[in-house]
Chain A
Amino acid sequence: MQTADPKADTHSLLEDAQGFIFGTAMCAFALVMLRDLGLVTGQTAGLALLISYMFKLPFGWVFFAVNLPFYWFGYKRMGLKFVLKTFACVALISVFSEVFPHFVSFETLNPVFGAIMLGFMTGAGLMAIFRHGGSLGGIGILALYLQDATKFKAGYVQLAFDACLFAVAAFILPLPQVLYSLLGAVVVNLVIAINHRRDRYIAM
């Protein structure tokens, strides 16, 4: 319970904390479904999944390690506060995604339902993290950095990265898994595209 309502345009520390725990827990739960179905996704999380599938490494550690190089770009481009928030979120996901499979596993999970569901949940989780001024690090930061340096659009950098990722996945995963992965990625991005609007959710 809050003692007093914080102002509408700024989140208090406690509000940010609950936002990040909510967001990372949602994403980590979605990752449990994703790994159960043997799917991948985009961005650094997708890269970490591919590496963990190929070399049988624990996803949480790989995800944490993959993100390390990007914090420097994040610091230069977005400032210390953003980097600290991002580091906390990445660390939380790394821990949650290693711990959650001990607490929950599926007997049946329909892949179409699972892909849509994990899209909804990851979309919700990412949106909460963004609305509280954090991120899950990685490619997004590099993309913004490259946009500043080379005028190459950040969105295209991310798209190119995901295209390479799915091309690799197409070789190592069975075709249905690649298609379900695409479905999940489309749902995540639709949820964010429709709902992530600074003119509607105005707090920072």
Chain B
Amino acid sequence: MPAPFPIPQNPAKHTLFEDLQGFSVALITTAIGLTIIAQLGFITGQTAGLALVISYLTGYSFSWVFWLINIPFYALAWFRMGKEFTIKSALCVTALSILVAVIPKWMSFDTLNPVFGTIAFGILTGYGLLGTFRHKGSLGGLGVVALYVQDTYGIRAGIVQLCFDAVLFTVAFFLFEPSRVLYSLLGAVILNGVIAFNHRRDRYIAS
């Protein structure tokens, strides 16, 4: 089949154009997943989850809360992960915040079954995060702290993130109806399943 445009020669490296399309697809898909659970009133893990809890409690928009929450983490990221990673993270977080604010103007649901919505969130956001990671981006926040704790205190980064989510979901149990938290747990399990199955540097080898 004829190639519609020149194919980059180096399989190990994404071009700037490829990164841009990767982030566009990944962040829009992530934003749709978040739009779905925000409409259902569910939460998720990590800083996005914390931002959802705060936005439900205070009535402030998720986008602003999520954007503001991530600011302190950039300082740590700047020293620990370098300039490029920090700027990429800030751009991804900002783009995601804007998308989540804008998408409800273009798309709103008439019916949305909570089980279906939860699964759709897990799949869409899991895929979006996978794309973000494969293009060496990040949604900032906790991951950087977790890596810092691992390097300084020897506690595995994955455990740190799990502890954060455990605390977040426990607090949520006291604040919201249990059914909302159980749906949220299902979504978080599916999201992490998509990433656990598919995020393998030995299979997707470009960076």
Contacts and interface: CB of A to CB of B under 8 A. Distances in A.
Interface in B65-104: 103
Given A104-B120, A117-B32, A15 B197 contact: yes
Contact of B110 (A2, A22, A107, A189): A107
B19 to A, nearest CB: 11
Contact of A106 (B3, B4, B108): B108
Contact of B120 (A1, A2, A29, A155): A29
Interface residues of A, number: 43
B109 A105 contact: yes
Contacts of A153: 1-2
Interface string A30-58: 00000000000000000000000000000
A106 B109 contact: yes
Contact of B203 (A106, A114, A202): A202
B107 A114 contact: yes
B135 to A, nearest CB: 10
B18 A194 contact: yes
Interface stretch (B21-29, B51-59, B151-159): B21-29
B111 interface: yes
- Range of interface residues on B (Cβ < 8 Å): 35 or more
A134 interface: no
A113 B103 CA distance: 9
A22 B1 contact: no
B127 interface: yes
Interface in A91-129: 100, 102-110, 113-114, 116-117, 120-121, 123-124
Given A200-B11, A200-B204, A202-B205, A193 B25 contact: no
A22 B115 CA distance: 16
Contact of A123 (B25, B112, B193): B25
Nearest to A203: B203
Contact of B29 (A124, A189, A194, A203): A124
A139 to B, nearest CB: 13
Contacts of B203: 8, 201-203
20 contacts: A1-B193, A29-B120, A102-B113, A104-B109, A104-B117, A104-B120, A105-B111, A106-B110, A107-B109, A108-B106, A108-B107, A109-B107, A110-B107, A120-B28, A155-B2, A191-B25, A195-B21, A195-B22, A200-B205, A202-B203
Interface of B: 1-5, 7, 11, 18, 21-22, 25, 28-29, 32, 103, 105-113, 115-117, 119-120, 123-124, 127, 193-194, 196-197, 200, 202-206
